[in-house]
Amino acid sequence: MKRLLALPVVLVLFGFLSPIPQARADGFIIVDEAHWRPGPRPPGPIPPPHWPPRPMPPPRTYVFAPLEVSYHHVNVKIDGQIAVTSVDQEFYNPNPSRLEGTYLFPIPKGAQFDKFTMDIGGKQVEAELLPADKARRIYEDIVRKAKDPALLEYADRDALKVRIFPIEPHSKKRITLRYTQLLKSDSGLVSYVYPLNTEKFSAKPIKSVSVKVELESKQPLKTIYSPSHSVEVKRHGPNRATVGFETNDAKPDTDFALYFAPEKDELGVNLVAHKVSGEDGYFLLLVSPGVDAQDKRIVPKDVAFVLDTSGSMTGKKLEQAKKALQFCVENLNDGDRFEIIRFSTEVEPLFEKLVEANKANRQKADEFIKDLKPIGGTAIDEALQKALALKSEIRNPKSEIDRPFVIIFLTDGKPTIGTTDEGQIISNVKKQNEGRTRVFCFGIGTDVNTHLLDKITEETRAISQYVLPEEDLEVKVSNFFSKIKDPVLANPTLKFTGDIRVTKLYPSPLPDLFRGDQLVLVGRYAGKGDSAVILEGAVNGTMRKFTYEVSFPGGSDEHDFIPRLWATRRVGYLLDEIRLRGENSELRDEVTELARKYGIVTPYTAYLIVEDEERRGVPLTMQSLPQLNTDALARREAAQNWNSFKDERGGEKGLAGARYGMALKSANAPAAASAEGMVEASRALGGDAFVQRYGAPGRATTPSATPPADAKDRLAQFSQQGQFIAGKNFYQNDAQWVDAAVQKFQNAKRQRLQFNSTEYFAFAAKHPKALPWLALGQNVQFILGDTLIEVYE
């Protein structure tokens, strides 16, 4: 079926009960009249719109006519563990014929529906609830007739079914549905899933897609986390919050998942894990103070604002920086201390020391900021030394050893005055910093030394952010300062008790914890059983210990997003090692393996994969990126792109590499991080034009019937010809989808299944785990246990 729906909802449309031509969509139409028949579908999940039909055949053949989806909006209200989901979507019939259809809604796994209502065109209708076995027969019948396995993904679920008639020509049909379900709680962590996996059902981008979740709980809400999407969380006091996701002209391909935890404790700590038998497991630890942290637990902080006012900061850069600083000063807490240091050829502090954030000092700071002018060079080293020395000038430093000290450092250039050597500047930072100061760097524009700024933040357990010329510095800095405004736990450390060995934790070291924020920690573990999470840190200068009981399973197939999340962060950290300190075979090989296995493929990592598979002699039919391997010009572009990632310290390419690494290292949702990473890799290839064509997060891209003429365009396209599905990464190799794991099982026993055969459907019924993989197409290879399964037409 030609995939056109913005929901895991199937609209099956019938004209006459007759043989069905091969096509792909959310539904299909059989029309008993003389029409042309589409020709063979080119490789790829979605045929391009200019795919040429064959010449007109004789009369009494049948045409496939898809519906379009105008919008897909979801509103969810969750009170405790009761969720009420309301879906509003609009279909458009672009055909000249009246259509009749059956609407199927596959019910999410584990969902316990209590009430269900549906409205079509303003009229309430009754729907039939189909048990999984009956729904499977409908799906399998559609698969047999349409010769497309897309619906097999839902063959182990219950479904709702309703007849729709008529769907008038060139008309819209609005459908709304509403259902209530009881949500599952796992060790206090409540989960909600909405089936938004719609890329395979969408031939055209959906104009508007949104999910809004209103949370309410009798206990304070601590953790609120989505592993699937980059969401906006707005808290309305301790017990209520709104979670939002919105995109336009998109093809969503990942189910929307949300975790939340009502907690009575000071910190909300929750652990979930995924473990395959015989292998080390993966775990996710969520730590959140929520927004109900009492004022007495908010740690007073010291902040030094260090601003570059060199001549290159002229114009909107300095104006935005001044507005950002004014916002930060205005939003300091009572009890905080601060200083402002401007630097160009020379360094000029405002107060010469940290001062109380009282009304008089704030007013003086505001006047100082207003008078700043851009002139002179860039004395980065002296400015940093002056800022770092502020803490040591306090009379009783020992009594304030755990009081957070934050330096917010803004610059648009490279050091030109005084010490300019990168290594010496880093060495000076190490000498003056005793591990307690956080230096957060903002690089403005493209003429910055990303290696220098990233090494400074790495040394001081902070992060760098890079602001492109078209981005708003004021918004970036203001948003950042709002997040770190209220420290709750400073200099945290973490350890686990019991028969559990934990390794490769990210982020590492742990960042400070702030009110309204949360720590999302991923790692590997060996062992099983009960354990205690011991979190220690400073609260108002006093060391505190928090202990929480958790359990690590010996085996669990739940939470299968965790391995990919861990791998995404791990690749980000490894790539930063390569970028900042140089490449070696161990780092390169691990990046290559993780990128291939978990689908972290961009124009950067694509080159590593191709080189590795050529070196290992992987047969062309099993290669991950055969198109790139056989395209000499695109492969050369890939090599140049990788070299620029390693070597460029500044400029557009250097900036793209730094932002790419940060996108992976800070990933909370793997799919969103991959999209963001593709943005930066595309920017390195060709600036904003490439971002618009290939890198815009959530935006749909349509493959061409013929490869693009430009090698850079081909490289960008080759880097996106994969799908990560149910824990496996598949690459498009000619007309088949190949599991990345197949390369390691070249001599494994094989089981061949002809698509649409009796044996094929028997296998699908016996192995529900394989259903999402079978749904990829008529030609698929994947590993199941120790067997290579090969599906062929």
- Give the number of other Cβ atoms within 10 Å of residue 360's Cβ: 9
pLDDT at 729: 94
Q: How far apart (Å, rounded) are the C-alpha atoms in residues 716 and 252?
A: 20
- Lowest-confidence pick of 41-45, 245-249, 601-605, 645-649: 41-45
Residue whose tokens read 């090692």: 577
User: With the C-alpha atoms ordered 136, 142, 147, 148, is the resulting torsion angle positive or negative?
Assistant: negative
Burial 195-232 (b: 16+ CB within 10 A, else e): bbbbbbbbbbbbebbebbbbbebebbbbbbbbbbbbbe
Where do the H-state alpha helices sit in 247-358?
316-330
205, two tokens: 């981008």
The SS3 assignment for 721 reads: coil
pLDDT-derived band of residue 18, with 50, 70 and 90 as boundaries?
very low
How many C-alpha atoms does 288 have within 13 Å on its Cβ side?
A: 25
Residues 6+ apart with CB under 8 A from 649: 449, 450, 451, 452
pLDDT at 26: 30
362 pLDDT more than 70: yes
pLDDT tens digits for range 62-92: 333 467 788 899 999 999 999 999 989 888 8
Residue 765 near residue 136, CB atoms below 8 Å: yes
749 pLDDT more than 50: yes
pLDDT tens digits for range 441-481: 999 998 999 999 999 999 999 999 999 888 899 999 998 99
pLDDT at 96: 81
pLDDT-derived band of residue 706, with 50, 70 and 90 as boundaries?
low
Q: Which of 634, 702, 621 is nearest to 44 (CA)?
A: 702
333 pLDDT more than 80: yes
| C-alpha dihedral (753, 754, 758, 759), degrees to nearest 10 | -10
Residue 715 near residue 628, CB atoms below 8 Å: yes
pLDDT-derived band of residue 295, with 50, 70 and 90 as boundaries?
low
- Lowest-confidence pick of 8-22, 107-121, 303-317: 8-22
pLDDT at 201: 61
How many C-alpha atoms does 131 have within 13 Å on its Cβ side?
A: 1
Q: Which of 641, 568, 629, 555 is nearest to 603 (CA)?
A: 641
Q: How far apart (Å, rounded) are the C-alpha atoms in residues 357 and 793?
A: 73
The SS3 assignment for 588 reads: helix
6, two tokens: 């913005």
40 pLDDT more than 50: no
- What number is the average pLDDT over the span 366-374? 95
* DSSP single-letter state for residue 62: -
Q: How far apart (Å, rounded) are the C-alpha atoms in residues 369 and 363?
A: 10
- What number is the average pLDDT over the span 659-674? 82
pLDDT tens digits for range 376-425: 999 999 999 999 999 876 655 555 656 889 999 999 989 999 999 999 99
pLDDT at 119: 76
- What number is the average pLDDT over the span 280-294? 83
Q: How far apart (Å, rounded) are the C-alpha atoms in residues 394 and 302?
A: 11
How many C-alpha atoms does 450 have within 13 Å on its Cβ side?
A: 29
32 pLDDT more than 50: no
pLDDT at 781: 96
pLDDT-derived band of residue 692, with 50, 70 and 90 as boundaries?
low
- What number is the average pLDDT over the span 694-700? 47
Mean pLDDT score of the chain: 83
448, two tokens: 């910055």
pLDDT at 202: 56
Adjacent-strand bridge partners of 245: 211
192, two tokens: 């909600």
What 315-320 contacts at long range (C-beta under 8 Å, 24+ apart), as own/partner pairs, is 317/412, 317/444, 317/445, 317/473, 318/372, 318/374, 320/472, 320/473, 320/474
585, two tokens: 């075979």
Residues 6+ apart with CB under 8 A from 367: none
Residue 105 near residue 201, CB atoms below 8 Å: no
Strand order in the sheet with 500-506: 268-274, 281-288, 519-527, 500-506
pLDDT-derived band of residue 54, with 50, 70 and 90 as boundaries?
very low
Residue whose tokens read 């120790």: 786
pLDDT at 293: 58
Residues 6+ apart with CB under 8 A from 145: 19, 20
pLDDT at 361: 97
Residue 706 CA to chain centroid, in angstroms?
30
Backbone angles phi, psi at 98, to 5 degrees: -75, 140
Q: How far apart (Å, rounded) are the C-alpha atoms in residues 165 and 97?
A: 12
pLDDT at 558: 87
Residue 411 near residue 425, CB atoms below 8 Å: no
pLDDT at 636: 92
pLDDT at 684: 66
pLDDT at 5: 34
Residue whose tokens read 């999470």: 533
Antiparallel, parallel or unpaired: β 337-343 and 159-167? unpaired
Q: How far apart (Å, rounded) are the C-alpha atoms in residues 793 and 777?
A: 9
- Give the number of other Cβ atoms within 10 Å of residue 94's Cβ: 12
Percent of the chain with pLDDT over 90: 48
Q: Which of 351, 372, 371, 373 is nearest to 362 (CA)?
A: 351
User: With the C-alpha atoms ordered 735, 738, 742, 743, is the resulting torsion angle positive or negative?
Assistant: positive
397, two tokens: 């430093």
- Lowest-confidence pick of 6-20, 339-353, 544-558: 6-20
- What number is the average pLDDT over the span 736-756? 93
Task: Burial-class residue 88 by CB neighbours within 10 Å (0-12, 13-18, 19+).
Answer: middle
pLDDT at 44: 44
Where do the H-state alpha helices sit in 261-349?
316-330
Cα 510–Cα 515–Cα 518 angle in degrees, nearest 5: 45
More confident residue, 341 or 300: 341
- Lowest-confidence pick of 50-54, 464-468, 751-755: 50-54
pLDDT tens digits for range 185-222: 887 889 999 888 754 565 578 889 999 999 999 988 98
Residue 253 near residue 197, CB atoms below 8 Å: yes
pLDDT tens digits for range 115-162: 777 777 778 888 788 888 888 888 888 788 878 888 788 888 888 888
